[in-house]
């Protein structure tokens, strides 16, 4: 008697919630709208719910990155007749997306991401710069709201500034827990991130910008004057046209960059003294 492949039990530590709703799956694929000839990369194919329609739409060419080794044999069997299907076994957090792009066209990255690593994974992908054409992710709804937030609201924070510094962010639609097995405890949503071809507000020193943003949001209720005490005084903020009594969640990306670029120049001048 032929032995059956073992039934896969969803693993919590790999953030496994498998998509089951065909309506949601086809809506995601329509939002991505892959075309033959594009370089499509799926993070966490799992049991292939998105992989299959993506392969179809992309003319049989798709690369996937999967960490759970137990899922790899199933994927190989399921897609054995697609020579353009490539599996990278490993951790997407450590994956070199620039190397994968190589000299070829930029990558379109998609994935129903494990929620426990979605923020560091997005940060990792944002570092890959022009290696990426766009990204479509299923994330916890709250994370999508933070990514796509506008200044002034409660959701505007470090993640919003970091993402919108590099990308156009669009919140596309909400996906309820019933679309998955097992069901997550929270709503999910699909987000599209499109890296700017040219940064609208380039920072002279990006590491300085991001550490400034981290500090500014250190205590959201405090004013900039207090949160940025060790970095910049109230007079200098005023000279930059920024009221020191404002709270960090009211600042735009451009204003954060304005402060960071002032500090980059001021630091440089000090260094030359
Ligand atoms: C939420 S499930 C989605 C599975 C499938 N794409 C679907 O929609 O049904 C997340 C997938 O990412 C995989 N995964 C978890 N951590 C990963 C990592 N660090 N790198 C790559 N894949 C990972 C999991 O094993 C799982 O297959």
CB 135 within 8 A of CB 193: yes
Q: Is 17 in the pocket of ligand 1 (CB under 6 A)?
A: yes
Is 112 annotated in a binding site? The answer is yes
Is 227 annotated in a binding site? The answer is no
Of 166, 190, 33, 27, the closest CA to residue 113 belongs to 190
Give CA–CA dist 244/160, Å, rounded.
Answer: 21
For residue 269, name the pLDDT band (cuts at 50, 70, 90).
low
Q: Is the pLDDT of residue 273 over 50?
A: no
Q: State whether ipTM is beyond 0.95.
A: yes
Ligand 1 centre from 265 Cα, in Å?
A: 43
CATH of 206-272, picked from 1.10.8.100, 3.40.50.10490, 1.20.1250.20, 3.30.420.10, is 1.10.8.100
- The fold adopted by the segment(s) 12-195 is Rossmann fold (3.40.50)
Which ligand 1 atom sits closest to the C-alpha of 17? 1
Tell me the pTM: 0.93
Domain layout of the chain by residue ranges: 12-195, 206-272
Q: Which of 44, 89, 92 to mutate to test the pocket of ligand 1 (most atoms within 8 A of CB)?
A: 44
pLDDT tens track for 110-163: 999 999 899 999 999 999 989 999 999 999 999 999 999 999 999 999 999 999
Give CA–CA dist 48/42, Å, rounded.
Answer: 10
Q: Is 66 in the pocket of ligand 1 (CB under 6 A)?
A: yes
Q: Is the pLDDT of residue 1 over 50?
A: no
Ligand 1 centre from 30 Cα, in Å?
A: 21
Is 21 annotated in a binding site? The answer is no
Give CA–CA dist 180/187, Å, rounded.
Answer: 11
Provide the mean pLDDT of the chain: 93
For residue 272, name the pLDDT band (cuts at 50, 70, 90).
very low
Ligand 1 centre from 138 Cα, in Å?
A: 11
Q: Which two tokens stand for residue 234?
A: 């109230």
DSSP 29-65: HHHH---TT-EEEEE--TTSTTHHHHHHHTTT-EEEE
Matching fold, domains 12-195 and 206-272: no
How far CA 146 is from CA of 96, 142, 211, 232, 260, in Å, comes to: 26, 6, 19, 27, 22
CB 189 within 8 A of CB 139: yes
pLDDT tens track for 186-238: 999 999 999 999 999 999 999 999 999 999 998 888 999 999 998 999 999 99
Give CA–CA dist 200/233, Å, rounded.
Answer: 26
Ligand 1 centre from 12 Cα, in Å?
A: 10
Give me the residue label for tokens 């470090």. 158
For residue 271, name the pLDDT band (cuts at 50, 70, 90).
very low
Give CA–CA dist 219/221, Å, rounded.
Answer: 6
CB 49 within 8 A of CB 29: no
Which ligand 1 atom sits closest to the C-alpha of 14? 15
């Amino acid at each position: 008697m032929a032995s059956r492949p073992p039934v896969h039990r969803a693993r919590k530590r790999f953030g496994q919630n498998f998509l089951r709703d065909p309506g949601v799956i086809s809506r995601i694929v329509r939002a991505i709208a892959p075309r033959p000839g594009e370089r499509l990369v799926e993070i966490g194919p799992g049991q292939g719910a998105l992989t299959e329609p993506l392969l179809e739409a992309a003319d049989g060419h798709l690369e996937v990155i999967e960490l759970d080794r137990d899922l790899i044999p199933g994927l190989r069997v399921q897609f054995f007749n697609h020579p353009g299907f490539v599996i990278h076994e490993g951790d997407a957090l450590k994956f070199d997306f620039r190397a994968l792009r190589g000299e070829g066209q930029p990558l379109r990255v998609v994935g129903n991401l494990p929620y426990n690593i979605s923020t560091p994974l997005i940060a990792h992908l944002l570092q890959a710069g022009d290696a990426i054409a766009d990204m479509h992710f299923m994330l916890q709804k709250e994370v999508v709201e933070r990514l796509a937030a506008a200044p002034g609201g409660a959701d505007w924070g470090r993640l919003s500034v970091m993402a919108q510094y590099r990308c156009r962010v669009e919140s596309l639609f909400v996906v309820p827990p019933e679309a998955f097995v097992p069901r997550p405890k929270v709503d999910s949503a699909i987000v599209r991130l499109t890296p700017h071809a040219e940064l609208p507000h380039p920072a002279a020193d990006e590491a300085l910008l991001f550490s400034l943003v981290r500090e500014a949001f250190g205590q959201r209720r405090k004013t900039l004057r207090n949160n940025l005490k060790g970095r910049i005084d109230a007079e200098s903020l005023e000279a930059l046209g920024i009221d020191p009594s404002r709270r960090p969640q009211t600042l735009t990306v451009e204003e954060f960059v304005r402060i960071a670029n002032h500090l980059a120049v001021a630091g440089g001048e000090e260094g030359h003294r």
